[in-house]
Amino acid sequence: MIDQSFTVDTLQKLVRINSVNPGLESDGAGEEEVGRYIFSLLEELGIEVELDELLPGRFNVTGMLPGSGGGRSLMLNAHMDTVGVAGMNDPFSGRIENGKLYGRGSYDMKGSIAAILAAGKAIRDTGWVPKGDLILSFVVDEEHKSIGAQALVKKLKTDASIVTEPTGLDICLAHRGFGVYKLTTYGKTAHGGRHRQGIDANTRMGLLLAELDKLSKKLPEWKKHPLCGEASMHVPLISGGRSLFIYSGECTIHVERRTVPGETETEIDSNLHEIIQKLEKKVPGFRATLEKVIWRSPYEIDQHARIVKETAAVVATTLGSKPAFIGHTWWEDSSIFGEAGIESVIIGPKGDGIHEDVEWVDIDSVITLAEILYRTSLNFCG
Ligand SMILES: [Zn+2]
């Protein structure tokens, strides 16, 4: 059964290690120290463990409980990096108060790392050898480019995975994806006093922005998903022009399009291309380019998939009530696993303050999560 003091102690130590993603914050400590800590804990538990260094000091940690053969394999997964700590008081305190443990990453998602390790320890303690392999996976870089998850799916095959992003112990079956696009309009630089020569890229961008605004207002009605809600779009960055008294030759924006399951990359690309084409027809000399910077697919798994049914059954007996099925509005590594053919379900602890100034995780829910992971692994791997 779950060793509660091991779980809480491990969680506290994890939170006290800075693992801010260096891709997001230039002074971020990265995952090296937290990865080494997890590596040594797995070794102490007698679990086979491998490190895969993807960039200097940034490695995935993968624990393996090999099966005796003939069963289904399962991966329990969490990411080791966190977002930055600006605005937080004492971000690495690991302070415990009224059943809550505070600090950056406590909820997203070191509570989950502790729960996975506790589930692994429970399996070790009972001496049980599953038929299928059980993989305990801790990846780098989920908060930025997901190099960890992408490298992982190239390295290993597994029948299913449980991604332990926070869900309040509900079962998450779907999440939104996103695309980031860079759009540039072109004008012609000229002295501000020579209006017959100059073409203003910034006002041309204004025309494009007006079209994007129309599209974003249409999205909530047009693209909806029962678990994830509405699709959305916004323009987080804009920059144009060089100086006062010069016509702007170039204006650039970044568009962030949040997609719901069912929306495809080709469809979103062509929505944006159509806007440009429409303006090219309407406005003489209008010229703009479109470049895709990032694409992350939305994710959805069938309620009747085996990993979902088995997880839901364990949640029901552990909590004494049927679990709720939910969706997330943000993107997660489950999408990469899903695209690699690994059926993935998402369940994690209770808490609050994801990417906010005060972050905490509910300690009891971390222990319950460990219990759920332990029992689901027993059932699933056979
Ligand atoms: Zn997360």
Residue at a domain's end among 296, 328, 344: 296
Domain of residue 79, residue span? 4-175+299-381
Residue 283 CA, distance from chain mean position: 40
Residue at a domain's end among 264, 296, 328: 296
| Integer Cα distance of 207 and 282 in angstroms | 11
Ligand 1: distance of its center to the CA of 198 in Å? 48
Shared domain for 146 and 82, answered yes or no, is yes
CB count within 10 Å of CB 17 equals 21
By CB atoms closer than 10 A (0-12, 13-18, 19+), residue 217 is: exposed
- CA 282-221-338 angle, 5° bins: 100
Ligand 1: distance of its center to the CA of 335 in Å? 13
Ligand 1: distance of its center to the CA of 83 in Å? 9
Shared domain for 169 and 56, answered yes or no, is yes
CATH number at residue 201: 3.30.70.360
Q: How far apart are the first and last CA of the chain?
A: 17
Shared domain for 31 and 110, answered yes or no, is yes
Ion ligand 1 — residues with CB under 5 Å? Answer: 108-109, 165
Per-residue model confidence (pLDDT) at position 128: 85
pLDDT tens-digit profile, the chain (382 residues): 899 999 999 999 999 999 999 999 999 999 999 999 999 999 999 999 999 999 999 999 999 999 999 999 999 999 999 999 999 999 999 999 999 999 999 999 999 999 999 999 999 999 888 899 999 999 999 999 999 999 999 999 999 999 999 999 999 999 999 999 999 999 999 999 999 999 999 999 999 999 999 999 999 999 999 999 999 999 999 999 999 999 999 999 999 999 999 999 999 999 999 999 999 999 999 999 999 999 999 999 999 999 999 999 999 999 999 999 999 999 999 999 999 999 999 999 999 999 999 999 999 999 999 999 999 999 999 9
Contact 153, 340 (CB under 8 A): yes
Shared domain for 343 and 323, answered yes or no, is yes
Ligand 1: distance of its center to the CA of 142 in Å? 7
Residue 115 CA, distance from chain mean position: 18
Ligand 1: distance of its center to the CA of 108 in Å? 5
Which H, E and C letters describe the chain, residue by residue? CCCHHHHHHHHHHHHHCCCECCCCCCCCCCCHHHHHHHHHHHHHCCCEEEEEEEECCEEEEEEEECCCCCCCCEEEEEECCECCCCCCCCCCCCCEECCEEECCCHHHHHHHHHHHHHHHHHHHHHCCCCCCCEEEEEECCCCCCCHHHHHHHHHCCCCEEEECCCCCCCEEEEECEEEEEEEEEECECCECCCCCCCECHHHHHHHHHHHHHHHHHHHHHHCEECCCEECEEEEEEEEECCCCCECCCEEEEEEEEEECCCCCHHHHHHHHHHHHHHHHHHCCCCCEEEEEEEEECCEECCCCCHHHHHHHHHHHHHHCCCCCEEEECCCCCHHHHHHCCCEEEECCCCEECCCCCCCEEEHHHHHHHHHHHHHHHHHHHC
Shared domain for 190 and 244, answered yes or no, is yes
Shared domain for 15 and 137, answered yes or no, is yes
Ligand 1: distance of its center to the CA of 217 in Å? 29
Per-residue model confidence (pLDDT) at position 224: 96
Ligand 1: distance of its center to the CA of 354 in Å? 8
Total domains in the chain come to: 2
pTM to 2 decimals?
0.92
Shared domain for 164 and 307, answered yes or no, is yes
Shared domain for 9 and 69, answered yes or no, is yes
Residue 185 CA, distance from chain mean position: 32
Ligand 1: distance of its center to the CA of 357 in Å? 15
* Residue in this structure with the two tokens 């609050």, named with its chain if needed: 352
Shared domain for 75 and 162, answered yes or no, is yes
Ligand 1: distance of its center to the CA of 15 in Å? 14
Ligand 1: distance of its center to the CA of 137 in Å? 14
Shared domain for 182 and 159, answered yes or no, is no
Ligand 1: distance of its center to the CA of 188 in Å? 44
Ligand 1: distance of its center to the CA of 112 in Å? 10
Ligand 1: distance of its center to the CA of 39 in Å? 20
Per-residue model confidence (pLDDT) at position 161: 98
Tell me which residue of 67, 35, 63 sits closest to 48, measured CA to CA.
63
Shared domain for 195 and 281, answered yes or no, is yes
Ligand 1: distance of its center to the CA of 321 in Å? 26
Q: What are the φ/ψ torsions at residue 361 (nearest 5 degrees)?
A: -125, 145
Ligand 1: distance of its center to the CA of 73 in Å? 23
Ligand 1: distance of its center to the CA of 117 in Å? 17
- CA contacts within 13 A on the Cβ side of 88: 22
Ligand 1: distance of its center to the CA of 332 in Å? 7
Radius of gyration of the chain (CA): 24
| Integer Cα distance of 81 and 34 in angstroms | 9
Tell me which residue of 140, 74, 89, 88 sits closest to 342, measured CA to CA.
74
Ligand 1: distance of its center to the CA of 270 in Å? 30
Contact 354, 196 (CB under 8 A): no
Per-residue model confidence (pLDDT) at position 97: 97
Residue at a domain's end among 296, 328, 362: 296
Ligand 1: distance of its center to the CA of 282 in Å? 44
Ligand 1: distance of its center to the CA of 352 in Å? 12
Contact 48, 64 (CB under 8 A): yes
Shared domain for 158 and 259, answered yes or no, is no
CATH number at residue 115: 3.40.630.10
Ligand 1: distance of its center to the CA of 165 in Å? 5
